[in-house]
Amino acid sequence: MSVIPHLINGELVTENGRAVDVFNPSTGQAIHKLPLASQATIQKAIDAAKAAFPAWRNTPPAKRAQVMFRFKQLLEQNEARISQLISEEHGKTLEDAAGELKRGIENVEFACAAPEILKGEYSRNVGPNIDAWSDFQPLGVVAGITPFNFPAMVPLWMYPLAIVCGNCFILKPSERDPSSTLLIAQLLLEAGLPKGVMNVVHGDKTAVDALIEAPEVKALSFVGSTPIAEYIYAEGTKRGKRVQALGGAKNHAVLMPDADLDNAVSALMGAAYGSCGERCMAISVAVCVGDQVADALVAKLVPQIKALKIGAGTSCGLDMGPLVTGQARDKVSGYVDDGVAAGATLVVDGRGLSVAGHEEGFFLGGCLFDNVTPEMRIYKEEIFGPVLCVVRVNSLEEAMQLINDHEYGNGTCIFTRDGEAARLFCDEIEVGMVGVNVPLPVPVAYHSFGGWKRSLFGDLHAYGPDGVRFYTRRKAITQRWPQRASHEASQFAFPSL
């Protein structure tokens, strides 16, 4: 069984000590051994990043961008290899893995605009012979802690932008599927990034706490569950760090009576069951305005859910692979058990699915509940699996109140042909990302990604313009060169024009 190393100061590093197995979820077999970083190893990465920072911050933004241009090319050239690693360790289909990588590459493309996005602001003659300007300077050593569900895309939300802004980066990826993340970081070094600017350390809570506690680490980016996001935000900000911590979600799709139902069903199938529902933007609740809409939706969904093509993620032509771990599969199955016990109608039951030739894999079929009510656990909590709940309401206002009352506010969408209803929904819904006839309204790289309420802790969203602001700090400079022949008396009042 091969050992997956850390990447510190441009070198692959292994260590003896605590380790965990990395599994292929399609077979249920351990395929790699992953050492968990000690505090000493974390400190080595921090020291490497700190040592690399002075030279990197003084590297012109255009030269930093050139590294990103080469990095983008290497990512595109290695798409098949990266997708294979993602699928082997996460379980998502090859097509889904390739799509994830493409969305990550969009953020590299945005980072290539470093000379433009880092331009400061300048004002001449704000006072007599006084000019003022501001520029955006890097923070220093920053770190990212990323989830298992997007081992390529989510890290690419963080470090390309952080690095072109002049920072040095330490990444702690998920210990469940680290190989693709490590390979991508190695490609960045191949693109010409100096040693120490990008480091990868594997670990668990010990590594997370070491990054939180290290005074050299000036900022933390996190994507994962809400309890951990809240913990990292509280502990990081308590130590004076800048923190953006993206947490959980319970994303609703509202179906109006005038919706194009066939297109809505197609959209919901992908949004609810793509990647086994292991997406923070997955649609897990369909809110139907009127029983007629709900009855028609369920009737159209059932045959398509039963026809889902499920198998080993590395096979071609599939709709779904396995869940990431056996524990994840069992947890989702437990939610289905709980929904049945609470009185929801289980219309399609995906429990007990066995895939020929992969009987030990972590598979679960698509599940569909009808007549779900807001007090049920399957409605309130993030399931993170292939389970869609249908909730019935009588009006758009009732649907919106339902969404606004939920503790999460990550993403939502509405299916309608009514512009007035769509505008009302966009204006009044208390959710950070909204789609109109778009089921997964994930912003493109030159906008920013983030939810509201308990889906985000921190003031700035991920990537895009907010990402630039997060990874830099503004410095305002006011400068005056008095004329040689002039002499001015002292001024004791507060200066003004």
Q: What is the DSSP secondary-structure string of 389-419?
A: EEEEESSHHHHHHHHHHSSEESEEEEE-S-H
Distance CA 178, CA 335 (A): 28
- Residue 491: phi, psi to the nearest 5? -120, 120
**Within a domain: 492:** no
Bridge partners for 7 per DSSP: 12, 200
Q: Name 150's Cβ contacts closer than 8 Å, sequence gap at least 6.
A: 100, 104, 223, 279
pLDDT of residue 494: 77
| 415 within some domain | yes
242 and 331 belong to one structural domain? no
Asked if residue 403 is part of any domain, the answer here is: yes
11 and 48 assigned to the same domain: yes
Dig out the tokens for 97 from the structure. 């893995």
**Domains held by the chain: number:** 2
Tokens 């030279």 sit at which residue?
55
430 and 469 in a single domain? The answer is no
pLDDT in the model for residue 489: 72
Higher per-residue confidence, 300 vs 126: 300
pLDDT of 381 over the 90 cut? yes
Do 178 and 284 reside in the same domain of the chain?
no
- Mean pLDDT of the residues in the chain: 96
Residue 164, domain member (yes or no): yes
Compute φ and ψ for 252, nearest 5 degrees. Answer: -105, 145
The pLDDT value recorded for residue 492 is 80
Provide the pLDDT confidence category of residue 476 given band limits of 50, 70 and 90: very high
pLDDT for position 146 = 98
What are the backbone dihedrals phi and psi of residue 389, each rounded to the nearest 5 degrees, phi first?
-110, 130
Backbone angles phi, psi at 334, to 5 degrees: -65, -35
pLDDT value at position 373?
Answer: 98
- For the cut 90, the answer to whether the pLDDT of residue 487 exceeds it is no
Residue 486 pLDDT > 70: no
Q: Is the pLDDT score of 485 beyond 70?
A: no
The DSSP 8-state label assigned to residue 449 in this structure reads: B
Residue 133 lies in a domain: yes
Same domain, 287 and 426: yes
Of 481 and 85, the one with more pLDDT: 85
∠ CA 350-228-204, rounded to 5°: 90
At 86, is the pLDDT very low, low, confident or very high (cuts 50, 70, 90)?
very high
> How far from the centroid of its chain's Cα atoms is residue 377's Cα?
25
State the pLDDT at residue 233.
98
The answer to whether residues 84 and 229 belong to one domain is yes
For residue 179, the surrounding DSSP H or E stretch is helix 179-190
Q: Which residues are catalytic?
A: 280
Summarize pLDDT for 319-341 with one digit per residue, the tens: 999 999 999 999 999 999 999 99
pLDDT bin (cut points 50, 70, 90) of residue 128 is confident
What are the phi and psi torsion angles at 486 (to 5°)?
A: -100, 155
What pLDDT is attached to residue 481? 85
Same-domain status, 243 and 256: no
* Same-domain status, 129 and 229: yes
CATH number reported for the structural domain that contains residue 360 in this entry: 3.40.309.10
Residue 297 belongs to domain spanning: 251-436
User: What average pLDDT score do residues 209-213 get?
Assistant: 97
Does 384 lie in the same domain as 337?
A: yes
The reply to whether 20 and 54 lie within a common domain is yes
| 97 and 211 in a common domain | yes
Confidence of residue 136 (pLDDT cuts 50, 70, 90): very high
Cα–Cα distance measured from residue 288 to residue 390, given in angstroms and rounded to the nearest whole number: 7
441 located within any domain: no
Tokens found for residue 145: 């802690």
What is the pLDDT, as a whole number, of residue 483? Answer: 76
